[in-house]
Structure 1
Amino acid sequence: MTNSPDFTTAVSAALPFLRRYGRALTGDQTSGDSYAAAALEAVLLDRSMAEEASSVKVGLYKVFHTVWNSAGAMIKEGETGLMGAAQKHLSKLTANTREALLLNTIEEFDISAVAEIMQIEHSEAEHLVEVARREMEDAVSGRVLIIEDEAIIAMDLESVVADMGHLVTGVARTRSSAVDLAATEVPDLILADIQLADNSSGIDAVNDILGKFGNRPVIFITAFPERLLTGERPEPAFLISKPYTEAQVRSAVSQAMFFSSTETLKA
């Protein structure tokens, strides 16, 4: 692969999803975007690792992992509140399992690509994904509010979340009903679509809830994830693309339960 406009285009196309990955790992937009920016800077200084990979996207994620591993733990010791709780939960997980699971499910890399990105054997990558599924789902459970106006999707999400052992507090189709449901039983986690039945915004609904009841994990589901992965404004830490798979929902819910979405989002 040579230095070319095609390389730059491929990096630009992959960058929003690298931001998504970084945010899911750290539970925070600012921290996740900082890791993505550091990976991009590393690529600009030396393209060799990205160019020699099986694809530019795989190469970019591989560079990210080099930066990630060199930085060590992403949550500082001594954190309090929700981030402190996240640190406590993370300390009990097998090393590298979350990364492998996110790469395989949310980022949709096959096991061979996961192994290449993490620079491990194929069998180890496969093992890490399986361990992650078990450990993540067993680690944290809570109350989940679903904000989704499409009945079939809402029923599917409710089924997946309940099967994971979480309590679904309700399903809202509009901004106002979401706020009302949250007031009835405050959720530990919110799963929200962007566009709701009455043309209200899922983002506005979430902001209303966070404003009233404080920070808590939020996962947004959208057919246009790039629009919320620009890095130019407050954006979600956890994002699933439509159409989604059950594995993606399970992975995102498990990851998000460890963290608090600390940013106020803008529609």
Structure 2
Amino acid sequence: MGDAISGKLLKNIFRYASCILGNRQLSRIAVVEALKAQGINGGSSRFELYRLVNEAAVSSAPLAEVRFSGGCGIGTELLKLPHQRRQIVALRAVMGFSYGDVGEIMGMTEAAVRRAYVSSLLEMRAKPAVLIIEDEAMIALDLQKIIKTLGLSVAGIAKNREEALRIVGLSHPKLIVADYRLRDETGIDVVNAIREQIHADVIYITAHPEAVTEQLGAASEVVLSKPFNARALVAAVQSKLAA
């Protein structure tokens, strides 16, 4: 790996730590411990820091719930997996490593990695999950809180198309709650991209419900006014999941 660690590698390492720990503070601690260990032990493998982060993460404090500003947006279902399988899913699905590379990092055969990865995805998809697409942190957390009061799983919170598609690849949400006005595109654009992969019902939240309803045309999506009413959201979620 060499003595110098690139900014890109550090960013990726922190992103990975955030995925398996679900909390920025714990992730920083794990990355710092990994960097210290590498400085002491050396190591030339390009995967050395990932292995050291895994070791540091095992000894970290109890997991904190994924928050909008931390983690990789996947949600609490990933954190419910046993530690090793959580690492495998994060390395494969989020970081994009091949099965062989994941095996090298984890000290496992490629076949064992494949089995663990597939079983983990099946477990994560066992419950009806809701994907939240919202780029305003406080609103996203409010939506998450309301959805969880219904006993539902939140697949994750996405701020944009890239994050949404990554979450969809892991959890196959049954329902999407999407803000219409995102930073770079509309919620409808993101949902259309998602529907190229899976089918999911959608609830849109917008400050301009009439315009969005007109744009959707004959589509059967629910459109709620923003700021949204919690009771209206609960009723819409229950109606969609019962359909």
Instruction: Give the TM-score, by structure 2 length.
Output: 0.53
Quote the offset at 1:72 in angstroms. 6.6
Aligned twin of 1:29: 24
* Aligned amino acid, residue 185 of structure 2: E
**Other structure's SS at 2:129 match:** coil
The runs of 5 or more residues in structure 1 that have no matched partner are 80-85, 189-267
Aligned twin of 1:150: 185
Q: Confirm or deny: 8 A CA contact 1:22 1:32 kept in the other structure.
A: yes
Give the Cα–Cα distance (whole angstroms) in 1 for the partners of residues 79 and 178 of structure 2. 25
Give the Cα–Cα distance (whole angstroms) in 2 for the partners of residues 35 and 75 of structure 1. 12
| Inter-CA distance 131–182: structure 2 relative to 1 (3 Å threshold) | farther
The runs of 5 or more residues in structure 2 that have no matched partner are 66-74, 133-176, 213-223, 235-243
Aligned twin of 2:48: 59
Give the Cα–Cα distance (whole angstroms) in 1 for the partners of residues 22 and 233 of structure 2. 18
Tell me whether 99-108 or 130-139 shows the greater mean CA deviation: 130-139
Quote the offset at 1:9 in angstroms. 3.5
Kindly report the root-mean-square deviation, in angstroms, between the aligned alpha carbons of the 2 structures: 3.8
* Aligned amino acid, residue 66 of structure 1: E
Quote the offset at 1:96 in angstroms. 2.2
Q: Confirm or deny: 8 A CA contact 1:143 1:187 kept in the other structure.
A: no
Is residue 170 from structure 1 mapped to residue 204 from structure 2 by the alignment? yes
Quote the offset at 1:154 in angstroms. 1.3
Q: Confirm or deny: 8 A CA contact 1:65 1:117 kept in the other structure.
A: no
**Other structure's SS at 2:203 match:** strand
Give the Cα–Cα distance (whole angstroms) in 1 for the partners of residues 14 and 227 of structure 2. 29
Aligned twin of 1:8: 4
Identity across the alignment (%): 17
Give the Cα–Cα distance (whole angstroms) in 2 for the partners of residues 127 and 97 of structure 1. 10
Is residue 121 from structure 1 mapped to residue 126 from structure 2 by the alignment? no
| Inter-CA distance 107–74: structure 2 relative to 1 (3 Å threshold) | farther
Poorly superposed stretches of 4+, deviation over 6 Å: 86-89
Aligned twin of 2:84: 96
Give the Cα–Cα distance (whole angstroms) in 1 for the partners of residues 97 and 36 of structure 2. 23
